[in-house]
Amino acid sequence: MRIAVLDDRTPVVVSGDDVLDVGHLVGTTTGPAGPWGAWLEAGHGLPELLGLDLSTCPREPLDARRLSAPLRRPRKIVAAPVNYLDHKVEMSEQRSIADYGVFLKAGTSVVGPGETVELPYGDRRTDQEGELALVIGRTARHVAAEDALEHVFAYTCGLDISLRSTEDRSTRKSFDTFTPLGPWLVTADEIPDPDALDLRCWVAGELRQSTSTSDLLFSVPQLIAYASSVMTLEPGDVVLTGTPAGVGPLADGDRVRLDIASIGTLEVGVSARGAVAYASRPQGRVGSFAG
């Protein structure tokens, strides 16, 4: 099942070229988590979703321009650095996720399909990173890899936008607009093997990334198991699984398109309209004690 959000508040089920408004069954909210996030946080999950009586739901044609982020403000976004061997080589990294562990991104960095990535600095490179994202549906703590997929509610397309600078990963990947998600969530029952999905990402019409999730260093179950050994994963949390080779700089006016087989296509714009000089960022007392 594909589920989405229209106009930031209306939960819908996508059925072919139409959507079914399930707001009267799920509830609508303008709260931080959005309707599906609030529904998951309330303790609902895949069995309840699949059991909904959709025969009573109003139907209308899908207007992609009305799609919002399927989860607007996840409580946690857990991300995997250097989880493809080719990306490790590309970035001249000496270590991988096995050494770095996972990192967190701010929930406020999420935007939806059709929205715009805002470049913060005009003189620092900012890259696209196309990734498979998953949404936790059941609380997971010290989960074994063989049981990990039972805790997944859904999958979606994710972009981990990344500033290339000296700050730690959580800082330079948490700017507002740096985590596009969408266009919808595809429930876990529709994705029997998340480690066998083709992923492609274009920037300004140029194909930059093309891989299969079968090349992940930590598979999806292994990644969930590892993350849950560090922190409790809660319903509505998002896990970004890592990006393959082909990351590159974004420029004002670019369009970024990420396609993942069996899930769909996420497309966003890029703007440098508000970009400033990197040296103008707050720097505290650096240099203020020079004699």
Q: What is the pLDDT of residues 203-260, one digit of tens each?
A: 999 999 999 999 999 999 999 999 999 999 999 999 999 999 999 999 999 999 999 9
Residue 144: Cβ within 10 Å count: 11
Identify the pLDDT of residue 284. 85
Q: What residues contact residue 281 under an 8 Å CB cut-off, 6+ apart? A: 121
> What are the structure tokens assigned to 217, written together?
């260093």
- Is 88 domain-assigned? yes
Question: How far, CA to CA in Å, does 79 sit from each of 48, 106, 134, 161, 235?
Answer: 28, 11, 10, 12, 16
Whether residues 46 and 103 fall in one domain: no
Give the per-residue pLDDT at 290: 47
Looking at the domain assignment, is residue 71 inside a domain?
A: no
CATH code for position 213: 3.90.850.10
Q: What mean pLDDT is reported for the chain?
A: 94
Local confidence band at 82 (pLDDT 50, 70, 90 cut-offs): confident
Helix (H, G, I), strand (E, B) or coil at 176: coil
Q: How many domains are there within the chain?
A: 2
Q: For 24, phi and psi rounded to 5 degrees?
A: -75, -15
Confidence of residue 286 (pLDDT cuts 50, 70, 90): low
Q: Say if CB 48 and CB 20 are below 8 A apart.
A: no
Q: What is the pLDDT of residues 101-124, one digit of tens each?
A: 999 999 999 999 999 999 999 999
Residues 21, 97 share a domain: no
Cα separation of 182 and 71, whole Å? 8
Are 58 and 100 in the same domain? no
Q: How distant, in Å, are the alpha carbons of 111, 120, 253 from that of 163?
A: 17, 9, 17
CA 125 – CA 215 distance, rounded (Å): 26
Q: Token digits for 278? A: 């990197």
Q: Scan for tokens 């420029």, then name that residue.
A: 251
Which pLDDT score is estimated for 291?
Answer: 44
pLDDT for position 98? 83
Domain that holds residue 254: 77-273
